[in-house]
Amino acid sequence: MDFLQIISDLVLKNFGAVFPVMAVLTRISVFIFLLPGLGENAIPTRVRLVTALLITVLIIPFVGIDATIKDTQWNVSTMVAVIAFEGFYGFVLGFGLRLMVFGLQIAGSIISQNLSLTQVFGGGMTSEPNTTISTILMLGGVTLLLTLDMHTKAVGLLVRSYEIFPLASTPVFEDTVYWVAQKTVGVFSFAVTLALPLLVFNFIYNLMLGFVNKAMPQLMVSFVGMPFVTGAGIILLALSISGILTVWLNTYDTHMAEMF
């Protein structure tokens, strides 16, 4: 208890220097909890929190906590506003990168729909259940990100954010909401593009099946069509999944470079 009292007195005496560090930690922790790879549910919360603390220690020299911020007389309303704004910045940055993983999730759902496998659900990387194909795509994409050190580039992106959104600054909500809306629409259209090979295959096959049904009404097309479209679709997915993930990874890198 004496140790805690000493720490408490030390923090209160130097609160002008401690609070900016707390604000930086707020932005970084929200960003880390949303970052693809480090922010997955499979990683324990304590590990993610310790990672945020370590990154805070590393990037504090680059943030630019000048004497003006340190000498500011912080009151309760100002501190609440700064913490809220820093959390908002971290959420926007993390959500901007998390959108690309959502793109894989949407693409996997579209592919599952075309292969008649939407009823196959299981535990995935998110809190809600996903189709098996969505889980495979998300797991493959996140594994590629960590293997190619994209999470370190994301930390560099976080450092750059302090040049665009300085510490204790007020965000421009109109521009931010517009940016998020545009990115969301772009990611959805990109997800449809990733699933395009399976969409084209399913369209052509059902078109041919319609002609066969017209020529032979007595044929039970559902018994013939469903197993074939599932089996052939799985083979086509196995052949195209490497290309899907490669295109996604290149787009993720471009998306990260154009965040600002």
Distance CA 24, CA 56 (A): 7
What would you report as the CA-atom Rg of the chain, rounded to the nearest whole angstrom?
Answer: 24
Can you tell me the distance from the alpha carbon of 33 to that of 73, in angstroms, rounded to the nearest whole number? 30
Task: pLDDT tens for the chain, 260 residues: list them.
Answer: 555 556 555 555 555 667 778 888 888 999 998 888 888 877 888 888 888 888 888 888 877 665 445 556 667 777 888 888 888 999 999 898 898 998 998 898 888 888 877 665 555 566 667 788 888 888 889 888 888 888 888 888 888 888 888 877 788 888 888 888 888 888 988 999 998 888 888 888 878 777 777 777 766 766 666 777 778 888 888 888 888 999 999 999 888 888 76
The whole-model pTM stands at 0.81
DSSP label at 131? E
CB 24 within 8 A of CB 56: yes
Distance CA 35, CA 90 (A): 10
Residue 117 CB neighbours (<10 A): 18
